[in-house]
């Protein structure tokens, strides 16, 4: 029973003991200030749609599943969409420990959401698993006319914390799928590399695969 429980909510360490025929379950959390686009990011990935119009803030936490195929293996992503509002912080804190990967978003048109990334990273280091995979995402890259944070600023911050970085758009879908696939690849790789499989570097992979906004990535 203990093993079964671990397979239902595995850590990277326990993944290798799960039955090979089952989908590998991985838990990913979306974090960042309210309004940066976490829910839209998830909907774009799950359904290929963009929720425009009235902004309805997430209350507490919500989740969706999506199965992706990574190097011929089925990976079941369980994606937790958290509320960015401060008043729900204690609810979301309770879930950090179970996450194997965190996508941390800011909004390239909102300076405060970028400035708060340091506080988010401090919180992550206090509450999450030590080996959690983190990726920094500058969302709303489609809104180039309102950009206040340059790509270089995002890159510099990401480098300082040693995490991969991409700009994304939940509206156009730019780099949305890549963010999840890259994480799934990293976690699958950690779970047990095949003898003939080349080593995998998440940052190099993201750098080689990511699309850059077609213009105006500077401020």
Ligand X SMILES: Nc1nc2c(ncn2[C@@H]2O[C@H](COP(=O)(O)OP(=O)(O)OP(=O)(O)O)[C@@H](O)[C@H]2O)c(=O)[nH]1
Contacting positions for ligand X (CB under 6 A) = 34-40, 51-52, 55, 57-58, 83-85, 139-140, 142-143, 169-171
Least distance in Å: CB of 105 to ligand X? 7
Sheet holding 24-31, edge to edge: 61-70, 73-82, 24-31, 101-107, 133-139, 165-167
Shortest distance (Å) from residue 142 CB to ligand X: 5
Output the residue with the shortest Cβ distance to ligand X: 37
Token pair belonging to 67: 């199965």
Q: Which residues contact 164 (CB under 8 A, 6 or more apart)?
A: 135, 136, 158, 182, 202, 203, 206, 207
Comparison of 100 and 139: residue with beta carbon closer to ligand X: 139
10 vs 173 by CB, closer to ligand X: 173
In the bound state with ligand X, the residue whose beta carbon lies nearer, of 5 and 89, is 89
Calpha distance 147→5 (Å, rounded): 46
In the complex, what is the shortest distance from the CB of residue 83 to ligand X, in angstroms, rounded to a whole number?
A: 5
Please state the φ and ψ torsions of residue 117, each to the nearest 5 degrees: -60, -35
Q: Which is nearer to ligand X, 40 or 191 (CB)?
A: 40
Q: What are phi and psi of 194, to 5 degrees?
A: -75, 155
State which residue, 80 or 189, has the beta carbon closest to ligand X. Answer: 80
Output the smallest distance, CB 58 to ligand X, in A. Answer: 3
How far is Cα 4 from Cα 97, in angstroms, rounded to an integer? Answer: 19
| CB 32 to ligand X: min, Å | 6
């Amino acid at each position: 029973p203990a093993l079964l429980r671990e397979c239902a909510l595995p850590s990277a360490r326990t993944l290798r003991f799960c039955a090979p025929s089952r989908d590998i379950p991985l838990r990913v959390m979306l974090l960042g200030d309210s309004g940066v686009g976490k829910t839209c990011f998830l909907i774009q990935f799950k359904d290929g749609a963009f929720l425009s119009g009235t902004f309805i803030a997430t209350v507490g936490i919500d989740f969706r599943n999506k199965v992706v195929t990574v190097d011929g293996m089925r990976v079941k992503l369980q994606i937790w969409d958290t509320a960015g509002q401060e008043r729900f912080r204690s609810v979301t804190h309770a879930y950090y420990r179970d996450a194997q990967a965190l996508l941390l978003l800011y909004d390239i048109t909102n300076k405060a959401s970028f400035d708060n990334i340091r506080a988010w990273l401090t919180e992550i280091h206090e509450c999450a698993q030590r080996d959690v995979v983190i990726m920094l995402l500058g969302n709303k890259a489609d809104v180039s006319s309102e950009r206040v944070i340059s790509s270089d600023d995002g890159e510099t911050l990401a480098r300082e914390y040693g995490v991969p970085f991409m700009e994304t758009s939940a509206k156009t879908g730019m780099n949305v799928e890549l963010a999840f696939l890259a994480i799934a690849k990293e976690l699958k790789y950690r779970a047990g590399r095949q003898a003939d499989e080349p080593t995998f570097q998440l940052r190099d992979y993201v750098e080689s695969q990511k699309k850059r906004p077609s213009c105006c990535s500077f401020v």
